[in-house]
Amino acid sequence: MIGFGPHLMVDGYDANYEVLASVEAVTNFLDELPKEIGMTKIMPPYVFKYDGGDKPEDWGVSGFVIIAESHISVHTFPEKGYFSIDIFSCKDFDVDRAIEIIKEYFGTERLEIKQTERGSEFPRDIRIATSITNAQRNRLI
Protein backbone atom coordinates (compact mmCIF):
# COMPACT_ATOMS: atom_id res chain seq x y z
CA MET A 1 0.00 0.00 0.00
CA ILE A 2 1.31 3.45 -0.92
CA GLY A 3 0.14 6.76 0.54
CA PHE A 4 0.45 8.44 3.90
CA GLY A 5 -3.21 8.64 4.89
CA PRO A 6 -6.54 10.45 4.97
CA HIS A 7 -7.03 14.13 5.79
CA LEU A 8 -10.59 15.07 6.77
CA MET A 9 -11.45 18.78 6.74
CA VAL A 10 -14.75 19.89 8.26
CA ASP A 11 -16.17 23.42 8.27
CA GLY A 12 -19.20 23.85 10.50
CA TYR A 13 -21.86 26.57 10.48
CA ASP A 14 -24.63 27.57 12.92
CA ALA A 15 -22.85 25.70 15.70
CA ASN A 16 -23.53 25.90 19.44
CA TYR A 17 -22.16 29.22 20.75
CA GLU A 18 -21.37 27.89 24.23
CA VAL A 19 -19.27 25.04 22.82
CA LEU A 20 -17.48 27.31 20.34
CA ALA A 21 -16.66 29.82 23.09
CA SER A 22 -15.41 27.32 25.66
CA VAL A 23 -11.77 26.35 26.12
CA GLU A 24 -13.00 23.51 28.32
CA ALA A 25 -15.43 22.18 25.67
CA VAL A 26 -12.82 22.25 22.89
CA THR A 27 -10.30 20.60 25.23
CA ASN A 28 -12.80 17.84 26.07
CA PHE A 29 -13.54 17.32 22.36
CA LEU A 30 -9.85 16.97 21.51
CA ASP A 31 -9.27 14.77 24.56
CA GLU A 32 -12.03 12.28 23.68
CA LEU A 33 -12.13 12.22 19.86
CA PRO A 34 -8.92 10.24 19.29
CA LYS A 35 -10.19 7.31 21.37
CA GLU A 36 -13.61 7.47 19.67
CA ILE A 37 -12.09 7.07 16.19
CA GLY A 38 -9.38 4.57 17.10
CA MET A 39 -6.42 6.93 17.35
CA THR A 40 -3.66 7.11 19.97
CA LYS A 41 -3.32 10.41 21.83
CA ILE A 42 0.33 11.00 22.73
CA MET A 43 -0.01 14.33 24.55
CA PRO A 44 -2.79 16.28 26.22
CA PRO A 45 -4.64 18.77 24.00
CA TYR A 46 -3.22 22.27 23.80
CA VAL A 47 -6.11 24.76 23.66
CA PHE A 48 -6.25 28.54 24.03
CA LYS A 49 -8.62 31.47 23.58
CA TYR A 50 -7.57 34.30 21.26
CA ASP A 51 -8.96 37.83 21.05
CA GLY A 52 -9.39 38.32 17.29
CA GLY A 53 -6.73 41.00 16.95
CA ASP A 54 -7.83 43.75 14.53
CA LYS A 55 -11.26 42.09 14.16
CA PRO A 56 -12.69 41.61 17.66
CA GLU A 57 -15.60 39.57 16.26
CA ASP A 58 -13.06 36.96 15.11
CA TRP A 59 -12.18 35.91 18.65
CA GLY A 60 -12.41 32.23 19.41
CA VAL A 61 -10.79 29.08 20.64
CA SER A 62 -8.07 27.09 18.89
CA GLY A 63 -6.51 23.83 19.85
CA PHE A 64 -4.79 20.71 18.68
CA VAL A 65 -3.84 17.30 19.90
CA ILE A 66 -0.93 15.28 18.63
CA ILE A 67 -1.82 11.67 17.98
CA ALA A 68 0.58 8.85 17.14
CA GLU A 69 -1.06 8.82 13.72
CA SER A 70 -0.61 12.62 13.15
CA HIS A 71 -2.87 15.39 14.56
CA ILE A 72 -6.35 16.84 15.08
CA SER A 73 -6.96 20.61 15.16
CA VAL A 74 -9.95 22.85 15.91
CA HIS A 75 -10.49 26.58 15.33
CA THR A 76 -13.72 28.30 16.42
CA PHE A 77 -15.34 31.67 15.71
CA PRO A 78 -18.24 31.88 18.21
CA GLU A 79 -19.64 35.21 16.97
CA LYS A 80 -20.01 33.69 13.51
CA GLY A 81 -21.22 30.25 14.63
CA TYR A 82 -18.32 28.73 12.69
CA PHE A 83 -15.60 26.17 13.30
CA SER A 84 -13.01 24.27 11.30
CA ILE A 85 -11.62 20.86 12.19
CA ASP A 86 -8.80 18.91 10.56
CA ILE A 87 -8.18 15.24 11.24
CA PHE A 88 -5.01 13.99 9.60
CA SER A 89 -3.90 10.40 10.07
CA CYS A 90 -1.39 7.93 8.69
CA LYS A 91 -3.99 5.20 9.10
CA ASP A 92 -7.56 4.87 7.97
CA PHE A 93 -10.30 5.85 10.40
CA ASP A 94 -14.08 5.82 10.40
CA VAL A 95 -14.77 9.16 8.68
CA ASP A 96 -18.56 8.76 9.02
CA ARG A 97 -18.22 8.20 12.79
CA ALA A 98 -15.97 11.26 13.11
CA ILE A 99 -18.52 13.39 11.24
CA GLU A 100 -21.38 12.17 13.46
CA ILE A 101 -19.38 12.98 16.60
CA ILE A 102 -18.60 16.47 15.26
CA LYS A 103 -22.27 17.14 14.40
CA GLU A 104 -23.44 16.03 17.82
CA TYR A 105 -20.72 17.77 19.81
CA PHE A 106 -20.98 21.12 18.05
CA GLY A 107 -24.75 20.98 17.63
CA THR A 108 -25.05 21.48 13.90
CA GLU A 109 -26.00 19.62 10.75
CA ARG A 110 -24.52 22.35 8.50
CA LEU A 111 -21.15 20.96 7.55
CA GLU A 112 -18.88 21.41 4.59
CA ILE A 113 -16.81 18.23 4.30
CA LYS A 114 -13.67 17.61 2.26
CA GLN A 115 -11.44 14.60 2.33
CA THR A 116 -8.18 13.96 0.56
CA GLU A 117 -5.45 11.38 0.67
CA ARG A 118 -2.05 12.77 1.68
CA GLY A 119 1.37 11.61 0.54
CA SER A 120 0.40 9.59 -2.51
CA GLU A 121 4.04 8.57 -3.02
CA PHE A 122 4.74 7.75 0.63
CA PRO A 123 5.76 4.08 0.71
CA ARG A 124 4.18 2.36 3.71
CA ASP A 125 5.80 -0.97 2.95
CA ILE A 126 9.61 -1.25 3.18
CA ARG A 127 9.69 -3.61 0.17
CA ILE A 128 7.92 -0.99 -1.93
CA ALA A 129 10.23 1.71 -0.57
CA THR A 130 13.25 -0.40 -1.50
CA SER A 131 12.02 -0.99 -5.04
CA ILE A 132 11.28 2.74 -5.51
CA THR A 133 14.71 3.69 -4.13
CA ASN A 134 16.48 1.13 -6.32
CA ALA A 135 14.60 2.32 -9.41
CA GLN A 136 15.61 5.93 -8.65
CA ARG A 137 19.24 4.93 -8.11
CA ASN A 138 19.30 3.04 -11.41
CA ARG A 139 18.16 6.21 -13.21
CA LEU A 140 21.14 8.07 -11.76
CA ILE A 141 23.70 5.52 -13.04
| Catalytic positions | 70, 75, 90
Q: Is 71 helix (H, G, I), strand (E, B) or coil?
A: strand
Neighbour-count burial of 118, counting CB atoms closer than 10 A to its CB (0-12 exposed, 13-18 middle, 19+ buried)? middle
Which one, of 23, 59, 28, 61, lies nearest residue 44 by Cα? 28
DSSP state at residue 78: G
